[in-house]
Chains A and B, each alone.
Chain A
Amino acid sequence: MLSGFRTLLYKELLRFWKVSFQTVGAPVLTALLYLLIFSHVLESHVQVHGVPYGAFLIPGLVIMSALQNAFANSSSSLIQSKVTGSVVFVLLPPISYVEFFLAYVVAAMLRGVMVGLGVLLVTMWFAPLTFVAPHWILLFIVLGGGIMGTLGMIAGIWADKFDQLAGFQNFLILPLTMLSGVFYSIHSLPEFWQLVSRFNPVFYMIDGFRFGFFGVSDVAPESSVAVVTATLLLVSAATLALLRSGYKLRS
């Protein structure tokens, strides 16, 4: 019964693992560059929540990279197989839409976690990090990766061309992840932008994730988990409905 899910998950993991230089290596390097530049410029001037800026920045970079790569994984896999036509190989076998959904989302999440781990491993040497509550760390990266993997599925199913997908990525995913408190605490923002940030689910992922390291956050992690879980359920329901209807996959 679950062999479709298992094999599809395996295929998705193998797919990005075979090109791990680009799918894991490249984002790790990008995050390292961010860290070196920003912390070099700001380290001596800024502390956030009583944490030196470099240390504050690292968890944000970790989860931002994880989220962006989770999105990239499911969206690029789907659009590639749609554009090349090889999507028929997963549409012809007896795989249910639920298995289909779970395989893509779990693969995306795992890629996110792997990239996040990679970023953590190369950046943690540059600033004093603590791991106050590791279970929050894990919970937020898993839920956040799930949300982004799901959004990636929606984008990959919807887009017919690579530039449409790039639009989705540049106008939705990138602003959501960048404007969410990766580089700052939202308390440092003007009130209006603080309010806007509170409508951004990515803000809660990052805030809760960071709580796991330092034990301080803008919002209580319990509240953040509630927001993030609700978001995951919402986008999952939407994606499952899309898949069930056969939208753009089974005409």
Chain B
Amino acid sequence: MSVAVAISQVEKRFGSLRALAGVSLQIGEGEFFGLLGPNGAGKTTLISCLAGLVRPDAGQLTVMGHDVLGDYREARRRLGVVPQELVFDPFFSVRETLRIQSGYFGIRHNDDWIDEILANLDLTAKADTNMRRLSGGMKRRVLVAQALVHKPPVIVLDEPTAGVDVELRQGLWQFIRRLNHDGHTVILTTHYLEEAEALCARIAMLKAGKVVALDTTRNLLARFSGQTLNLRLAGAVQLPPALQARATENGGIWTFHLATLDELEPLLAALRVGGCVIEDLRLTQTDLEDVFLGVMQEGRVSERTPC
């Protein structure tokens, strides 16, 4: 598999803030790649470096082998970015916006493809509506459309589903999946982790400008596989110290990770012995959200051996 996007040792400071502290990533052609991380982790900054909107202080980025600074024309031709901010040009209609955007990429007669994008994003009825008169979700769809006018081999979506209704979200993912199936590389950031879990084959987690986890989604889930047990205790009884070391607490809810269900019975027994009374209990299959929280808390994933 050849490399679609190569990011090596990228650093970026904003004043005294280190937004990117040496990020290295390689994303293969045709991958569906997730870039996750809490607010302020540096996801958008990294995407902006890739798109040439932000100049890194150090490091190198290439898109399909073209350096984003030295060979920016070729690099940008191959990149389509859906920006996180909901921006639009209030002077134009949807179709004008897309025609103009095509022109910037040197594509003159693009109406067939524009119509196809519009149909897939359920915008056909709004094609001649001025951008100002669109709802927020529709504006976001136009942003997606704008990123696709030049059929870029690499598509970057920075939280494309924020504020988009359920039906369209499904439609959008179907469309993006199809593009991915046709060979387009997709890089996605989102705070909807179930979305990332369902779509992305590989995931990088970013925290304070650093990559803290990078693996296939399956491996990430497997490393954390098993069950998550959430429970609330009655009264002011403390957990026995031996159990406290295994658990994390958040708002009176204790969370345990169980590799297998066999661990459940001894745990409950230990609670009984410690004099704890369970007020509420919930047992769930580990999902990406648990992995995410685990990684963000102390990089636990790397400490646990894969099963």
- A residues lining the B interface (CB < 8 Å): 3-4, 6-8, 10-11, 14-15, 18-19, 81, 84-86, 88-96, 246, 250-251
> Which B residue's beta carbon lies closest to that of A6?
B103
B73 contacts A94, CB within 8 Å? yes
20 A–B pairs (Cβ distance < 8 Å), ordered by A: A3-B105, A3-B107, A4-B103, A4-B106, A8-B104, A81-B89, A84-B87, A84-B88, A84-B90, A85-B85, A85-B87, A86-B87, A86-B88, A88-B87, A89-B101, A89-B146, A91-B52, A94-B72, A94-B73, A250-B54
CA distance A250 to B76 in the complex (A): 14
Contacts known (A94-B76, A251-B55); A89 close to B103, Cβ less than 8 A: no
Contacts known (A18-B91, A84-B87); A250 close to B53, Cβ less than 8 A: yes
> Which B residue's beta carbon lies closest to that of A249?
B53
Question: Of A11, A81, A250, which is in contact with the most chain B CB atoms at under 10 Å from its CB?
Answer: A11
Chain A CB within 8 A of B81 CB: yes
List 4 additional contacts besides A3-B106, A251-B14; criterion CB under 8 Å. A3-B108, A19-B91, A91-B53, A92-B52
B105 contacts A93, CB within 8 Å? yes
- Chain B nearest CB, measured from A3 CB (Å): 4
- Chain A nearest CB, measured from B96 CB (Å): 8
Chain A CB within 8 A of B51 CB: yes
CA distance A246 to B77 in the complex (A): 19
CA distance A96 to B83 in the complex (A): 21
B77 contacts A94, CB within 8 Å? yes
B103 contacts A3, CB within 8 Å? yes
- B53-91 interface with A by 8 A CB criterion: 53-55, 72-74, 76-77, 79, 81, 83, 85, 87-91
B106 contacts A11, CB within 8 Å? no
Chain A CB within 8 A of B92 CB: yes
| Size category, B interface | 20 to 34
- Chain A nearest CB, measured from B65 CB (Å): 15
Which residue in B53, B92, B108 is a CB contact (below 8 Å) of A88? B53
CA distance A85 to B103 in the complex (A): 20
CA distance A95 to B100 in the complex (A): 13
> Which B residue's beta carbon lies closest to that of A19?
B91
- Chain A nearest CB, measured from B89 CB (Å): 5
> Which A residue's beta carbon lies closest to that of B103?
A7
CA distance A85 to B52 in the complex (A): 15
Contacts known (A3-B103, A10-B100, A88-B83); A93 close to B92, Cβ less than 8 A: no
- B residues lining the A interface (CB < 8 Å): 14, 51-55, 72-74, 76-77, 79, 81, 83, 85, 87-92, 96, 100-101, 103-108, 146
Q: What are the 10 A-B residue pairs with the smallest beta carbon separation, nearest first? A: A7-B103, A93-B104, A85-B87, A94-B73, A3-B106, A94-B76, A86-B89, A86-B87, A15-B91, A11-B100
- Chain B nearest CB, measured from A11 CB (Å): 5
> Which B residue's beta carbon lies closest to that of A16?
B91
> Which A residue's beta carbon lies closest to that of B74?
A94
Contacts known (A3-B106, A3-B108, A86-B88); A92 close to B53, Cβ less than 8 A: yes
Which residue in A10, A18, A88, A250 is a CB contact (below 8 Å) of B103? A10
CA distance A3 to B91 in the complex (A): 21
**Using Cβ atoms and an 8 Å threshold, which residues of chain B touch A95?**
104
**Using Cβ atoms and an 8 Å threshold, which residues of chain A touch B81?**
88, 92
A14 contacts B106, CB within 8 Å? no
- Chain A nearest CB, measured from B67 CB (Å): 13
CA distance A251 to B79 in the complex (A): 19
- Chain B nearest CB, measured from A149 CB (Å): 19
CA distance A8 to B76 in the complex (A): 16
- Chain B nearest CB, measured from A8 CB (Å): 7
Contacts known (A7-B100, A246-B55); A92 close to B76, Cβ less than 8 A: yes
CA distance A54 to B98 in the complex (A): 48
**Using Cβ atoms and an 8 Å threshold, which residues of chain B touch A84?**
87-90
A250 contacts B87, CB within 8 Å? no
> Which A residue's beta carbon lies closest to that of B90?
A84
**Using Cβ atoms and an 8 Å threshold, which residues of chain A touch B103?**
3-4, 6-7, 10-11
Contacts known (A84-B88, A85-B87, A88-B83); A93 close to B55, Cβ less than 8 A: no
CA distance A88 to B76 in the complex (A): 12
- Chain A nearest CB, measured from B172 CB (Å): 20
> Which B residue's beta carbon lies closest to that of A84?
B87
CA distance A94 to B63 in the complex (A): 13
**Using Cβ atoms and an 8 Å threshold, which residues of chain A touch B92?**
14
**Using Cβ atoms and an 8 Å threshold, which residues of chain A touch B91?**
14-15, 18-19
- Chain B nearest CB, measured from A221 CB (Å): 38
- Chain B nearest CB, measured from A77 CB (Å): 10
- Chain B nearest CB, measured from A74 CB (Å): 15
CA distance A104 to B81 in the complex (A): 24
- Chain B nearest CB, measured from A10 CB (Å): 7
CA distance A3 to B83 in the complex (A): 23
CA distance A235 to B238 in the complex (A): 73
- Chain B nearest CB, measured from A20 CB (Å): 12
CA distance A250 to B55 in the complex (A): 7
**Using Cβ atoms and an 8 Å threshold, which residues of chain B touch A15?**
91
CA distance A6 to B108 in the complex (A): 11
